[in-house]
C-alpha cells in the first residue's frame, strides 16, 4: 500500500544552477493515498518549464487519451532531439537552424501507428498554451515557435505568449529574480501569473486564487516504478493538496514539471511553493503533482533534467518509456 508523507546537459542543457537542499524533517506519516484523495482522472492537465516543458509536451502526446491541456514554457517540439544529445544541443536549445518540422510530424505519426503513443485524434479538443520570454537567452525563440507550429500542424488549439519581457524562467506575479534575468532559481518576478494564465486557459471561469488552507505533501516516487524497472527519478516527489481535496472532494489533477536543476535537491521547495499554482489550486479543487528528477552520471544527467533526448533508453518518448510510464503510475496511483 503506497503512503505519503507531509512536509512543511550538460553545459547548454538548461543549466539551471542552484544549491541548497531541503529535507522532510517535519514529515508526519499519513494514511494510504487512496483513502485521502478522490481524483477525477478525466481532468488532467500538464505544464513545464525548459526541460520540464519538453517533458510535459511528451506526456501530453503520449497520454493524450488522459490529458486535456498543456502549458509549455521555453521548450521545443516532440522528438526534437531525435534521441541524440548532440542534436538536442545543435537544434533544440540555442538554435533551431537544423530543425526539420516535417520530419518531426512524420515521426510522431509513425509513433501513433506503432501504438507507442495514444491516438493523435485525442488532441483535437485540447488547449495548449506556449510561452517564450522575449528576453530569454537560453532557448531560442524559433525553437519554441517550432513547438507552436508542431501543434498547429496537428490541428490543436493553441495560445501563444511571446511578448512578456522575461528571461529563461517561470514567470510569476511577485516571486523570483528580476523578470528579464536568466539566473537561479529560474523563477521570475514579472507581474505575470504564468500558472494562473495556464489554469484559467484550461478551465474558463475558474474562481480567483485564494489563501492556502491545504498543504504540501511528500511521497515516495520509487514506489511507483514499474516492477523490475530502474528509478530514474528522485526518491521524493511532492503534491499540493487543497483543503477540500483532503476532505474527500472530487479534484482535478495538474502535473507541474520543473526545469533542469530546479528540483528540490537544488532549489528547495521554491518551484513547489512559489510558482503560483497552489493558490489557484486551493480555490478550484486542483491537486498539483510536482514530480522530481535527480542528478546522475550513469545515465548521464548531471543537471537533473527530464529525459527529452534519450538518456533513459530508446523508448523515452513512448508511453512505456521509463519516465513517462513512471509519472503515469504516480497519477493513476494517487
- Catalytic site residue from 47, 50, 75, 218: 50
Residue 326 is a catalytic residue: no
Give the burial class of 310: count Cβ atoms within 10 A of its Cβ; 0-12 exposed, 13-18 middle, 19 or more buried: buried
Taking 90 as the threshold, does the pLDDT of residue 113 lie above it? Answer: yes
- Catalytic site residue from 126, 136, 140, 193: 136
The pLDDT of residue 3: 40
> How many CA atoms lie less than 13 Å away from 247 in the CB half-sphere?
7
The pLDDT of residue 5: 43
Grid coordinates belonging to 41: 482522472
Please say whether the beta carbons of 195 and 275 come within 8 A. yes
Higher pLDDT, 309 or 26: 309
pLDDT digits (tens, 9 = 90+) for 286-295: 999 999 999 9
pLDDT digits (tens, 9 = 90+) for 174-215: 999 999 999 999 999 999 999 999 999 999 999 999 999 999
Beta-carbon contacts of 113 under 8 Å, excluding residues fewer than 6 positions away, are none
Measure the CA–CA gap between 127 and 151, rounded to whole angstroms: 10
Entry pTM:
0.91
Please say whether the beta carbons of 167 and 73 come within 8 A. no
- Domain count for the chain, please give it: 1
Q: Residue 162 belongs to what domain range?
A: 3-333
Measure the CA–CA gap between 66 and 154, rounded to whole angstroms: 17
Partner residues linked to 172 by β-bridges: 189
Measure the CA–CA gap between 12 and 130, rounded to whole angstroms: 21
- Catalytic site residue from 57, 60, 132, 168: 168
Mean residue pLDDT of the chain comes to 90
SS3 for 239? strand
Residues in the chain: 334
Residue 50 is a catalytic residue: yes
pLDDT digits (tens, 9 = 90+) for 136-183: 999 999 999 999 999 999 999 999 999 999 999 999 999 999 999 999
- Residue linked to cell 514506489: 223
The pLDDT of residue 7: 43
Question: Percentage of residues in the chain with pLDDT exceeding 90?
Answer: 84
SS3 for 167? coil
Measure the CA–CA gap between 45 and 68, rounded to whole angstroms: 6
pLDDT digits (tens, 9 = 90+) for 245-270: 999 999 999 999 999 999 999 999 99
Residue 57 is a catalytic residue: no
Amino acid at each position: 500500500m503506497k503512503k505519503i508523507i507531509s512536509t512543511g546537459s550538460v553545459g547548454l542543457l538548461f543549466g539551471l544552477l542552484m544549491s541548497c537542499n531541503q529535507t522532510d524533517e517535519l514529515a508526519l506519516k499519513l494514511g494510504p493515498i487512496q483513502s485521502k484523495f478522490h481524483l477525477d482522472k478525466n481532468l488532467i492537465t500538464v505544464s513545464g518549464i525548459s526541460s520540464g516543458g519538453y517533458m510535459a509536451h511528451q506526456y501530453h502526446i503520449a497520454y493524450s487519451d488522459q490529458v486535456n491541456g498543456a502549458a509549455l514554457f521555453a521548450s521545443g517540439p516532440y522528438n526534437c532531439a531525435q534521441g541524440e544529445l548532440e542534436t538536442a544541443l545543435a537544434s533544440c536549445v540555442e538554435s533551431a537552424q537544423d530543425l526539420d518540422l516535417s520530419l518531426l510530424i512524420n515521426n510522431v505519426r509513425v509513433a501513433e501507428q506503432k501504438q507507442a503513443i495514444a491516438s493523435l485524434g485525442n488532441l483535437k479538443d485540447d488547449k495548449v498554451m506556449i510561452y517564450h520570454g522575449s528576453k530569454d537567452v537560453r532557448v531560442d525563440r524559433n525553437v519554441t515557435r517550432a513547438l507552436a507550429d508542431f501543434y498547429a500542424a496537428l490541428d490543436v488549439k493553441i495560445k501563444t505568449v511571446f511578448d512578456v519581457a522575461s528571461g529563461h524562467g517561470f514567470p510569476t506575479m511577485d516571486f523570483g529574480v528580476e523578470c528579464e534575468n536568466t539566473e537561479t532559481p529560474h523563477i521570475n518576478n514579472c507581474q505575470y501569473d504564468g500558472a494562473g494564465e495556464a489554469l484559467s486557459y484550461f478551465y474558463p471561469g475558474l474562481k480567483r486564487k485564494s489563501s492556502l488552507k491545504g498543504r504540501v505533501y511528500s511521497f515516495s516516487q520509487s514506489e511507483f516504478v514499474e516492477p523490475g524497472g530502474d528509478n530514474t527519478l528522485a526518491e521524493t516527489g511532492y503534491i499540493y493538496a487543497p483543503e477540500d481535496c483532503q476532505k474527500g472532494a472530487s479534484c482535478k489533477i495538474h502535473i507541474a514539471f520543473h526545469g533542469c536543476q530546479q528540483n528540490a535537491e537544488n532549489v528547495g521547495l521554491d518551484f513547489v511553493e512559489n510558482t503560483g499554482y497552489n493558490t489557484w489550486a486551493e480555490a478550484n479543487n486542483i491537486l498539483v503533482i510536482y514530480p522530481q528528477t535527480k542528478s546522475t552520471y550513469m545515465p548521464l544527467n548531471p543537471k537533473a533534467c527530464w529525459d527529452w533526448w534519450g538518456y533513459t533508453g530508446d523508448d523515452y518518448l513512448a508511453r512505456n518509456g521509463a519516465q513517462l510510464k513512471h509519472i503515469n503510475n504516480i497519477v493513476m496511483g494517487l
